[in-house]
Amino acid sequence: MALVTTAEVCDANLQLIVSGELRAVLPVFQIYGRRPFFSGPIVTLKVFEDNVLIREFLEEKGNGRVLVVDGGGSLRCAILGGNPVVQAQNNGWAGIVVNGCVRDVDEINGCDIGVRALHSHPVKASKKGIGERHVPITIAGTRICDGEWLYADTDGILISKTELSV
C-alpha cells in the first residue's frame, strides 16, 4: 500500500464499504514495531493465552503475509514477545495483529515489521499448543477470514475480501 492511506482507500472505495467487502476494524489496537504502514494477505489463528502456534507460524516464510491472531482479547498475559517478532521480521512477514497482549515492547519496536496489539503485559503465555489455524475469527467487531487482505496504517486497520488497487 505504498503511500496510500487507509483513509484514502476508504474514500476511494465507498461502495465496497457499503457492500461489506471492505471493513474497518474498531480502533482498539496499539501500534508497535518500526513499520506503521503494512499490508498483505491474511493468515488467521485462534488461541487463548498460549503462544506455541503463533511461534510455529512465524517460523515459516511469511512472503509478505499478515498473521492475525484472535487471542480472545485476554489482558492477563502476553501471547507475543520479542523473539518471535524478530523471527517474523527475518522470515518476511509484513505484520502481526494480536487481539491480546505483547511483551518485550522495546525489542518489538526495534523490528522492521508492523505489529498491532491491545496492550503490553509482562507475564508470558502458556505453552500447550492449543488453538485453531486458518479459521474465521472475529476481532474488534470485524469478521476476518484466512486469505483476505489487511491494510494498516496510523489511522487504522482495514480488511478487504480482495487485494485492492487505488
Rounded to two decimals, the pTM is 0.96
Backbone angles phi, psi at 106, to 5 degrees: -60, -40
Tens of pLDDT, residues 108-147: 999 999 999 999 999 999 999 999 999 999 999 999 999 9
Tens of pLDDT, residues 2-40: 467 999 999 999 999 999 999 999 999 999 999 999 999
pLDDT tier, 165 (very low <50, low <70, confident <90, very high otherwise):
confident
- Give the type of residue at 35: R
What sign does the dihedral 31-36-37-41 (CA atoms) show? negative
Half-sphere exposure of 38 (CA within 13 A, CB side): 27
